[in-house]
Amino acid sequence: MNHDHVALVRQAIPLWYAHVAWGKELLIRTFNLADASDILSPAHRRFQAIPNTCWFVRPHGIGVHIFKTPEVGGIDFDFDKPDPDEWRLALFIQRQVNDGQLSYLAYRELVDDQELLNQAVATALAGG
């Protein structure tokens, strides 16, 4: 792992926050919710298509996964965690690369080596 790998992860972190904000707004507006976390209520707590979009939503535990396909695009976050954890940030980067939102050329070494990606994410989140 080198500093370029950590820098790439750091560049993806603002995108993670933007996708969380987008996801919350999408849920509120699409399902007419008072708060995005209301998607966890029994009435909405199921896998479903988001009408008139290419997106799907799957509530889980205390969070939600919004995606095009399970490994492409979107965001997976927990409502009680305002910041990304290592696991979710690594998945986010992989899914954004799969969606073409992050450059495969730039992130290739990271997404092709899970251990390298995990190390770079851990270092970036630890402030190293």
pLDDT in tens, 36-67: 999 999 999 999 999 999 999 999 999 999 99
- pLDDT < 70: residue spans in the chain: 1, 128
CA distance 108 to 40: 35
Res 13: pLDDT: 97
Average pLDDT over all residues of the chain: 95
Residue 87 burial (10 A CB sphere; 0-12, 13-18, 19+)? exposed
> Which pTM value belongs to this model?
0.93
pLDDT of residue 28: 97
Query: Where do the domains of the chain lie?
Result: 3-125
